[in-house]
């Protein structure tokens, strides 16, 4: 399990998100998004019962857990903001990714962003860099032979991991994606936050405006 330092508030978020991720990969349905707002102990299930180790699903890879604060770029930065007006320095981000039972559940939570604003977000193939374009293309389960991919047959939330969100009045949000495949050995190194919700129109599918921030996973 990989983890970075972050605020106590973000740590509280992740304590609730981890068991929800495990529970969702162990069943055919995702947990209600609202349940991610409920604080629980690391061994508690979404229903409040304590989960025994034998009841958890078999993981196909170690879980990824990232807790970080957005800062300006430096080589060792885990979460980078390219636009501090939309993703302020010091705002929190939490990511959980769990691969089990042929599925990948990804949870993204943010805190401290401007209120009541729309953002796009996707898993990208490359690590974050000083330049927003360094993260490269979206990770696709079935790779579009034409790149950049704007064909909705490939650029869609079943073939990619989309994590679009809208912040609430306090500037917080959480979102989840559950897809019926796992990453395998192919690289998936970052989550990029964009300026707009993701388009689904042919010729524009998968586009979501400027790259505002990036989180190494």
Q: Quick: pLDDT tens for 16-64.
A: 655 555 555 554 333 333 333 333 233 333 333 444 444 556 777 888 9
Mean pLDDT, residues 97-110: 93
Please, are residues 99 and 59 in contact by the beta-carbon 8 Å criterion? yes
Distant-in-sequence contacts of 71-78, Cβ < 8 A, 24+ apart: 73/128, 73/129, 73/130, 77/128, 78/4, 78/215, 78/216
For residue 123, the model assigns a pLDDT of: 98
Q: Supply the pTM of this predicted model.
A: 0.79
For residue 47, the model assigns a pLDDT of: 35
Record the tokens describing residue 116, joined without a space. Answer: 């009541």
Record the tokens describing residue 149, joined without a space. Answer: 């991919």
CB atoms within 10 A of CB 52: 8
The pLDDT tens digits for 160-170 are: 999 999 999 99
Mean pLDDT of the chain: 82
């Amino acid at each position: 399990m990989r983890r970075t330092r972050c605020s106590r508030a973000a740590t509280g978020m992740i304590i609730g998100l981890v068991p929800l991720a495990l529970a969702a990969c162990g069943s055919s349905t995702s947990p209600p998004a609202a349940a991610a707002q409920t604080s629980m102990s690391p061994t508690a299930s979404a229903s409040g019962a304590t989960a025994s180790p034998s009841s958890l699903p078999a993981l196909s890879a170690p879980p990824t857990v990232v807790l970080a604060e957005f800062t300006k770029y430096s080589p060792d930065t885990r979460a980078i903001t390219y636009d501090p007006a939309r993703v302020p320095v010091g705002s929190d981000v939490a990511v959980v990714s769990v691969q089990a039972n042929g599925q990948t559940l990804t949870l993204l939570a943010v805190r401290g962003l401007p209120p009541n604003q729309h953002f796009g977000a996707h898993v990208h193939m490359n690590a974050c860099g000083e330049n927003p374009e360094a993260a490269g293309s979206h990770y696709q389960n079935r790779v579009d032979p034409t790149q950049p991919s704007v064909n909705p047959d490939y650029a869609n939330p079943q073939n990619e991991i989309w994590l679009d969100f809208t912040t609430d009045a306090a500037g917080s949000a959480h979102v989840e994606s559950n897809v019926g495949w796992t990453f395998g050995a192919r690289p998936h190194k970052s989550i990029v936050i964009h300026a707009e919700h993701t388009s689904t129109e042919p010729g524009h599918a998968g586009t979501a405006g400027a790259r505002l921030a990036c989180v190494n996973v």
